[in-house]
C-alpha cells in the first residue's frame, strides 16, 4: 500500500532546559531592578505591567511551582511599593489588586499549560501506537510525499523488496530500483496519479517489481492520497525519470 502525502512544515521547538532558567532569572531580576528605580524616582505606572512576562513564563514552565514563584515575585513587588509608597493609600490598594491579578494570571497559565501537556502526551501515545501498527503490519505499507520521497517504510516492505528502511527513507531513488524500466515506471506513476485525483481509494492494481536480489515479484497496490494540515492534497508527481 502506498500513501502519497504533502510534506508538512517543520514545527519550531521552543526554549527548554537551562535556557528557561537563565531567561526567567534574568527577566525577573531586571524587572525588580526597574521597579526599584521607578519607585525611587516616583514613577508608579507602566512598569508593573512588565511583571506579566516572567509570571506567565514561570507558570508555563513550572506549573504549580511556577505559581508559587510568581506569588513570591509579586510579594517582592508589593513590599517595594509598601516601602516607597506607604503613605499613598490608593497606590497601596492598587498594588494589592495587581498582586491578585498576577496570581490569577499565573494560576490560569499553569492550568492551561498542564492541559496542553496532557493533550501532547496523549497525541504522542496515539502516534506511537499507530507507528507500531504500521511497522509490524504483515502487508507492505509505504508513505511518501508528492515527489515520491519515502516517509514510512515498514518491515514488510523491507522483507518483500529486500531494501531496508535505512536504504530508502528520505529518498525517492527506490522507485528506479524497483521499476528499472523507464516507460513502465512512468505508466505506474500515471496510474497512481489517476487513482488519487479521482479518489478511487478502493481500486487496486498490480505491478511487477524487481527485488534487491533481482527476483521479480508481482505486487498488488492500493493507493490513496492524504491531505496535509491545511486540507490541501498535492498531485502525486513521483519520480519523473
Whether 43 and 92 map to the same domain: the answer is yes
My answer on whether 76 and 123 are in the same domain is yes
Same domain, 114 and 38: yes
Do 98 and 40 share a domain, yes or no? yes
Q: Which structural domain range is residue 81 located in? A: 18-130
Looking up cell 511556577 gives: 66
Q: State pTM to two decimals.
A: 0.54
Which among 111, 130, 149 is the end of a domain?
Answer: 130
Contacts of 8 (CB under 8 A, 6+ apart): 228, 229
88 and 145 part of one domain: no
Q: Give Cα separations from 78 to 39, 104, 110, 113, 196 (angstroms).
A: 11, 16, 22, 26, 64
Cβ(70)–Cβ(102) below 8 Å: yes
Same domain (yes/no): 72, 168: no
- The per-residue pLDDT string of the chain (241 residues; one tens digit each, 9 = 90 and over) reads 444 443 333 344 455 567 777 888 888 888 888 888 888 887 777 677 888 888 988 898 889 998 999 999 999 989 988 888 877 888 888 889 989 999 999 999 999 999 999 998 888 887 777 777 766 777 888 888 877 888 888 888 898 999 998 999 999 899 899 999 999 999 988 888 888 777 776 677 889 999 999 999 998 887 776 666 655 555 555 554 5
Judge whether 4 lies within some domain: no
| Cα–Cα distance measured from residue 141 to residue 223, given in angstroms and rounded to the nearest whole number | 10
Question: Which has the closest alpha carbon to 215: 157, 175, 161?
Answer: 161
State whether 157 and 200 are in the same domain.
Answer: yes
∠ CA(172), CA(139), CA(168), 5° rounding? 20
Question: Do the domain assignments include residue 233?
Answer: no
Q: How many domains does the chain have?
A: 2
Amino acid at each position: 500500500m502506498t500513501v502519497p502525502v504533502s510534506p508538512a512544515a517543520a514545527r519550531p521547538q521552543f526554549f527548554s532546559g537551562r535556557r528557561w532558567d537563565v531567561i526567567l532569572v534574568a527577566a525577573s531580576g531586571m524587572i525588580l531592578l526597574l521597579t526599584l528605580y521607578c519607585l525611587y524616582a516616583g514613577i508608579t505606572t507602566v512598569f508593573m505591567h512588565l511583571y506579566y512576562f516572567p509570571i506567565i513564563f514561570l507558570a508555563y514552565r513550572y506549573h504549580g511551582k511556577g505559581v508559587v514563584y510568581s506569588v513570591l515575585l509579586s510579594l517582592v513587588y508589593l513590599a517595594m511599593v509598601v516601602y516607597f509608597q506607604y503613605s499613598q493609600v490608593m497606590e497601596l490598594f492598587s498594588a494589592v489588586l495587581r498582586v491578585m491579578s498576577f496570581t490569577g494570571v499565573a494560576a490560569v497559565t499553569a492550568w492551561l499549560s498542564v492541559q496542553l501537556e496532557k493533550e501532547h502526551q496523549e497525541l504522542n501515545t496515539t502516534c506511537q501506537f499507530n507507528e507500531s501498527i504500521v511497522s509490524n503490519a504483515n502487508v507492505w505499507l509505504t508513505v511518501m510525499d508528492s515527489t515520491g520521497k519515502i516517509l514510512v517504510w515498514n518491515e514488510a516492505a523491507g522483507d518483500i523488496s529486500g531494501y531496508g528502511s535505512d536504504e530508502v527513507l528520505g529518498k525517492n531513488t527506490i522507485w528506479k530500483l524497483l521499476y528499472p524500466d523507464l516507460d513502465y515506471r512512468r505508466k505506474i506513476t500515471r496510474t497512481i496519479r489517476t487513482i488519487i485525483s479521482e479518489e478511487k481509494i478502493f481500486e487496486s492494481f498490480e505491478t511487477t517489481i524487481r527485488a534487491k536480489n533481482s527476483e521479480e515479484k508481482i505486487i498488488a497496490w492500493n493507493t490513496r492520497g492524504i491531505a496535509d494540515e491545511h486540507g490541501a492534497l498535492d498531485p502525486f508527481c513521483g519520480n519523473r525519470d
